[in-house]
Amino acid sequence: MTAVALPPSLANNRRLDRWVEIQPDGVVEVRTGKVEIGQGIVSALAQIAAEELDVDYARIRMIAADTVRSPNEGVTAGSTSTAQSGAALRQVGAEVRLAFLEAAAWRLGANLDELAVRDGTIFRRASNESLTYWELRDDVDLTRDADGRARPKRPEQLTLVGKPLPRLDLPDKVMGKGVYVQDLDLPGMLHGRAVRPPSYRAEIETFDPAPVEAMPGVRVVVRNGRFLGVVAVREEQAVAAAAALARCVTWRETADLPDVEAMPAYLRALPSKAQVLRETGDMTGAPAGSVEAVYSRPFLAHASVGPPCAVARARDGEIEVWSQSQSIHPTRKDIAATLGIAPDAIVIHHVQGAGCYGHNGADDAALDAVLLARAVEGHPVRLQWSHEDDLSWSPYGPAMVVGMAGATGDDGRITAWRHELWSNPHIMRPGLQATPSLLAAWHIDPPFAQPAGIDALPGGKPASQRNALPLYDFANQSVVHHVLERLPIRTGTLRAIGAFLNTFAIECFMDELAHASRLDQIELRLRHLSDARAIAVIEAARDRAGMLAGRARDGSRGLGLGFARYSNEASYAAVVAEVEAGETIRVTRVVAAVDCGRAINPDGIANQVEGGVVQAMSFAMKEMVRFDRTRVESRSWETYPILRFSEAPSVETIVIDRPDQPSLGVGEAVAGPTAAAIANAVFDAIGVRVRDLPMTPDRVLAAIHRM
């Protein structure tokens, strides 16, 4: 039999025992390089492994990733975990199952086609003879490379995949057990806090730590350049000492931040390099009857409910770190570069933390903890940020602007489409560049140079350009990315990255073209789509939501639709939002239809869709980082409000399962479509276009006054 090609993640981590280990008590340990941040991926991967190994789901024990034993799968990001690690575990499971079948065949003197497996027991169909995986574990050598001889199950053979099995991580969370990095309590552990400058480029003028060093419980005050920190016996002592330390230092600041209220104009005026992404057909001049619009989003914070935290211990020249990082191997590389030591001297264990779905301060907290731990050799140091530090120092999702222009002909076809994007590169994750991408590395003495952002992970799709190329069929189109240099605000990846605003702009502009041409907005989309899967999700969402052409209108209520295939190669999503327009805009109902290929766990998919919808609503209606010319001002929930539980709508999810297609990630797929659906529903309700996010009451009122 011809060997199958190994999935890329497995090809890079071929040793089978890095993925699966059979224990003598019947437990099957499974490792993955992807990490759990609340998205349920570890449970989905366990389901895939149980399916291919032919063992009960309850036997699987997912082992948290670390830099010693787990496969190095890079970063958990981009809604790629199911596609990457899931594909690897499918093949690993098939290969391990075949290895045990071959061992059983040798023991029983049987042919492979005489054997079957049920919950880890291999039995001979013609007799009562049987052996278990755990009985055969010494006969099977998994310290070998995957070879592609085994083939994963065909769709009709699946028994576990596609079922709504319970998540593995929820029972301990519901019962309040210590599963989070904040809950770690190691023997001899001390507590640390970092003290940040008041603004990005502030420099120390005076510093006197003596009053803090005399405070109860304080073990050490650390200063290394602009990096300041304290270590104390108890957490409340560390908090008090950090507050006192902030009063013991004076800073020289620079007023170099832009006008936050004029961000779209500021971005478009910055020096940029034009990168043509697509130029087809005839785009010379402005076509007759053309429509133009400009859409923008501000800087956005991750605003995790739980702030970044890490624990570190330095002992005998080695460092051990417990971190919620989504990129433990790259983070280890940058910590090692900062300290000038070999990466092998550092071990990072992943421990769950609050979800952020992008690049927040988790990696920075790991380096902070290490710097403090080195000052108290042998003691673990638990370092936690405050909410204020998280909101003002974690990387922000970049502010962006999209300018659109287009026209339709007499036949209802779009005759011209122009999309211009202004954005800096989004990616500042650790481990990708010559100098560390960690906050404290830029503050120590001597400081490392802050690297410029990049726009794609190795082998990945560009981040800021994501979804700028429309999935629709337009004969004449121009798509240009005006690449900005580094902005004066610290930025990084945030859920859906550039796809959030690109999709928002495309889907709002499709509605604007439909309205200007007196066409039904859904019909306009469908007549420009040739992808059957795209058409299917739009029709499913339309039908469930009752968004039919010629429907009865209610002056205070509106329906709007947004659609995209995330990154033009991942999950399809169509979202219909229903809003009530009164003194405020209230989203009352959302219907989302998704096609993520083979559905591993329909309940898990629904969880991800609901979470994605709620977060996108928060981005679209409330969130905006504010700053004056010197300092970030969004440092609390009052100054950076997020969606409240009472504001969350009913969310109905339609999963279009395609067992014969590869599984795709779904978490980011609904973000841009949700924001566009809300804006289009607002127009449907009150006839007002709000193109600059967030759609706050003040901005809606300003749009009304511009009519």
Calpha distance 368→357 (Å, rounded): 21
The predicted pLDDT at position 254 comes to 94
Mean pLDDT for 602-626 is: 96
The one-letter amino acid at 338: T
Phi and psi at residue 473, to the nearest 5°: -95, 105
Question: Per-residue confidence at 425, pLDDT binned at 50, 70, 90?
Answer: very high
Question: Per-residue confidence at 144, pLDDT binned at 50, 70, 90?
Answer: very high
pTM: 0.95
Place of tokens 């280890």: 332
**How big is the chain by its Cα radius of gyration, in Å?**
27
Domain count, the chain: 3
Percent of the chain with pLDDT strictly greater than 90: 88
Tens of pLDDT, residues 306-338:
999 999 999 999 999 999 999 999 999 999 999
Mean pLDDT for 24-51 is: 94
* CATH code assigned at 249: 3.30.365.10
**Angle at CA 620, nearest 5°, toward 699 and 327?**
145
Domain boundary among 155, 174, 193: 174
Closest C-alpha among 670, 68, 553, 91 to residue 321: 68
Closest C-alpha among 204, 206, 202, 200 to residue 253: 202
Q: Is 62 found in the same domain as 170?
A: yes
Q: Is 468 found in the same domain as 528?
A: yes
**Residue 138 placed within a domain:** yes
Mean pLDDT for 651-678 is: 96
The predicted pLDDT at position 354 comes to 86
The predicted pLDDT at position 551 comes to 73
What does pLDDT average to over the chain? 94
SS3 of 334-346: the string is HHHHHHCCCHHHE
Percent of the chain with pLDDT strictly greater than 70: 99
Q: How many CB atoms lie within 10 A of CB 676?
A: 31
Tens of pLDDT, residues 72-87:
998 888 888 898 999 9
Closest C-alpha among 416, 397, 396 to residue 408: 416
Tens of pLDDT, residues 232-252:
999 999 999 999 999 999 999
**Residue 1 placed within a domain:** no
Q: Is 87 found in the same domain as 19?
A: yes
The predicted pLDDT at position 1 comes to 63
Closest C-alpha among 543, 526, 548, 544 to residue 535: 526
Positive or negative: CA dihedral 441, 447, 448, 452: positive
Q: Is 467 found in the same domain as 499?
A: yes
Buried b (16+ CB within 10 A) or exposed e, 143-168: eeebebebebbeeeebebbbeebebb
Calpha distance 108→317 (Å, rounded): 52
Q: What is the residue range of 608's domain? A: 400-426+463-705
Place of tokens 């629709």: 472
Q: Is 489 found in the same domain as 340?
A: no
Question: Per-residue confidence at 135, pLDDT binned at 50, 70, 90?
Answer: very high
Strands, E assignment, 433-515: 477-484
Domain boundary among 351, 384, 417: 384
The predicted pLDDT at position 25 comes to 95
Residue 288 scores a pLDDT above 70: no
Q: Is 693 found in the same domain as 644?
A: yes
213 sits in which H/E element: helix 210-213
**Residue 17 placed within a domain:** yes
530 sits in which H/E element: none
The predicted pLDDT at position 625 comes to 98
Question: Per-residue confidence at 287, pLDDT binned at 50, 70, 90?
Answer: low
425 close to 481: Cβ distance less than 8 angstroms:
no
Buried b (16+ CB within 10 A) or exposed e, 380-413: bbbbbbbbebbbbbbbbbbbbbbbbbbbbeeeee
- Local structure of 163: helix, strand or coil: coil
**Residue 417 placed within a domain:** yes
The predicted pLDDT at position 689 comes to 95
**Residue 614 placed within a domain:** yes
Residue 284 scores a pLDDT above 80: no
Residue 122 scores a pLDDT above 80: yes
**Residue 457 placed within a domain:** no
Residue 298 scores a pLDDT above 90: yes
Residue 555 scores a pLDDT above 80: no
Residue 286 scores a pLDDT above 70: no
The predicted pLDDT at position 4 comes to 86
Mean pLDDT for 684-688 is: 94
Q: How many CB atoms lie within 10 A of CB 72?
A: 14
Q: Among the residues of 405-531, which ranges form H helices?
A: 439-443, 497-516, 521-526
**Residue 445 placed within a domain:** no
Closest C-alpha among 168, 171, 208 to residue 44: 168
Question: Per-residue confidence at 209, pLDDT binned at 50, 70, 90?
Answer: very high
Domain boundary among 174, 189, 215: 174
Residue 442 scores a pLDDT above 80: yes
Q: How many CB atoms lie within 10 A of CB 215?
A: 16
Positive or negative: CA dihedral 546, 551, 557, 562: positive
Q: Is 579 found in the same domain as 490?
A: yes
Q: Is 156 found in the same domain as 188?
A: no
In sequence order, the 6+-apart residues with CB closer than 8 A to the CB of 698 are: none
Q: Is 85 found in the same domain as 198?
A: no
Mean pLDDT for 548-552 is: 73
Q: Is 362 found in the same domain as 408?
A: no
Residue 473 scores a pLDDT above 70: yes
Closest C-alpha among 373, 335, 458 to residue 186: 373
**Residue 104 placed within a domain:** yes
In sequence order, the 6+-apart residues with CB closer than 8 A to the CB of 13 are: 19, 33, 71, 72, 73, 88
β 291-297/346-350 pair status: unpaired
Q: Is 576 found in the same domain as 528?
A: yes
Q: Is 238 found in the same domain as 124?
A: no
Residue 471 scores a pLDDT above 90: yes
Tens of pLDDT, residues 482-516:
999 888 999 999 999 999 999 999 999 999 999 99
Q: How many CB atoms lie within 10 A of CB 138?
A: 10
